[in-house]
Amino acid sequence: MTGLEIAIIAFVLMLLAIFVRVPIAIAMGMAGFFGQWVFLGKATPTLGLLKTLAYDTFSSYSLSIVPLFLLMGQFATKSGMSSALFEAASDWLGHRKGGIAMAAVGGCAGFGAVCGSSLATASTMGQVALPEMRKRGYSDALSTGVLAAGGTLGILIPPSVILVIYAMLAEQNIVKLFMAAMVPGILAAFGYMLTVAIYVRVRPDAAGTAPRVPYKKRFRTLVKVWPVVVIFGLVIGGIAGDWNWSQPGIQALFSPTEGAAVGAVATGLYGVMTGGLNWRGFLDSVLGAANASAMIFLIILGAQVFNSFLATTQAPQQLAEWILAQGYGPYLVLTIMLLFYLVFGCIMDSLSMILLTIPIFIPIIEVLDFGMSAEDTAIWFGILALIVVEVGLITPPVGMNLFIINSMAKDIPMSKTYQGVFPFVLSDLLRVVVLVMFPGITLWLVGVMF
């Protein structure tokens, strides 16, 4: 058999293993190990690879950004930032029809700017916003649906852990990916708010109203969110801002890893000063970040074993050559890839999807002619993939955000949550179509900054 045929069989067997609940890290590692064994005809080279692969992977300095951003998110969750964000957004928008739901979206967007995790954003904002919406007469469907969708902003608005992983796999600049995610992230937040506005006009009984808040109180609550603005500006501005006006180009204040460390320290200090982060909360945050990091690192190790197998067989390159030989248009190939993400994102988590597919898809994407450089194409594709994977977080049957939100209101049937999130899924799909048709929207800020 050819290397491509062996790789296809290994990939299918790996998917079957995942579907029968074998952990993704084990499934990828086993597929890579045995696939390479079959291809080479002996196990010695693969065993030799395993001897050094773990150290080579985890000794990478750039990988330290992952636990630091996770720790930053843990501190943000414990420090009470979510309450301040939701209160400020609610005071400004709550008197409008559907305003509390819009405020929940705004709170998710703000919290995502210092968290970087979709599940943490959905969980934290759900605890704050869900009781308020139910108290104000919002329907069960809209209350749970908007929070599940809003939670996905946590992985799109930078800093994003998944974007960091994508940058490493695709060998792209992390800062450029953060910049590329900014405009789509803002569009996502406004798209969700527009969806709420349409929803409550089609179904007026789905949303209650809140009293108008005086402007004096609005500005007072707005002042409370300054830490979020400062921390976000410090992290993103520090790694991408032009701090030396006498020199051409971007003169960053610190590297992405240093920026993650600064963000974690700043978020932790804010939590301590406000009293939201005590010693017990600090230990829980460190342990939570460590647990999440261990899980991610194990999946990365399994992915590296599988990627080594793909590199040995040259399967991605052979697949790219085969696709080019068929004469398929680049946008047809892109559409098939995005549909793959959409379907499998319904049954797999977002990190696993990225680690599983990027080593296969990137060599194909980079040889297709989209009228852009290979770097711009890889950045654009990364944002598209992230958005479509994000849709999987709110799409049945697995949709992790749906289960997170529904677990906070056990009296609400899951069918209501499915019903409420459907309009937001349509909003996401429409945004994907727009970003596919107009790549400049994604790449505009990258071009301005670089």
Quote the pLDDT of residue 440.
Answer: 92
Measured between alpha carbons, how far is 19 from 4 in angstroms, rounded to an integer?
23
| CB contact set of 167 (below 8 Å; sequence gap of 6+) | 173, 174, 177, 382
Are 362 and 406 within 8 A, CB to CB? no
Place of tokens 């798209």: 191
Closest listed residue to residue 129, CA positions, set 79, 97, 90, 74: 90
Backbone φ/ψ region at 327: left (φ over 0), alpha (ψ -120 to 50), beta: left
DSSP of 257-322, one letter per residue?
Answer: HHHHHHHHHHHHHHHHHHT---HHHHHHHHHHHHHHHHHHHHHHHHHHHHHHHHHHHTHHHHHHHH
Number of structural domains the chain divides into = 1
DSSP of 165-183, one letter per residue?
Answer: HHHHHHT--HHHHHHHHHH
Q: At 317, list the tokens.
A: 């390159």
Count other C-beta atoms under 10 Å from residue 237's C-beta: 15
Quote the pLDDT of residue 430.
Answer: 94
Backbone φ/ψ region at 73: left (φ over 0), alpha (ψ -120 to 50), beta: alpha
Count of CA atoms in the C-beta half-sphere (13 A) of 109: 22
Measured between alpha carbons, how far is 195 from 361 in angstroms, rounded to an integer?
32
Measured between alpha carbons, how far is 197 from 101 in angstroms, rounded to an integer?
9
**Three-class DSSP category at 60:** coil
Per-block mean pLDDT, blocks of 10 residues, the chain (450 long): 82 84 85 86 75 79 83 83 83 85 89 80 84 86 90 84 86 88 92 93 83 84 83 80 47 76 89 84 89 85 84 80 81 89 75 82 86 90 90 76 81 85 92 93 86
Report helix, strand and coil shares of the chain as percent, to nearest 5: 80, 0, 20
Measured between alpha carbons, how far is 184 from 142 in angstroms, rounded to an integer?
23
Provide the domain limits for residue 278: 3-449
Are 130 and 144 within 8 A, CB to CB? yes
Angle at 358 between CA 159 and CA 438, to 5 degrees: 70
Quote the pLDDT of residue 23.
Answer: 84
pTM: 0.85
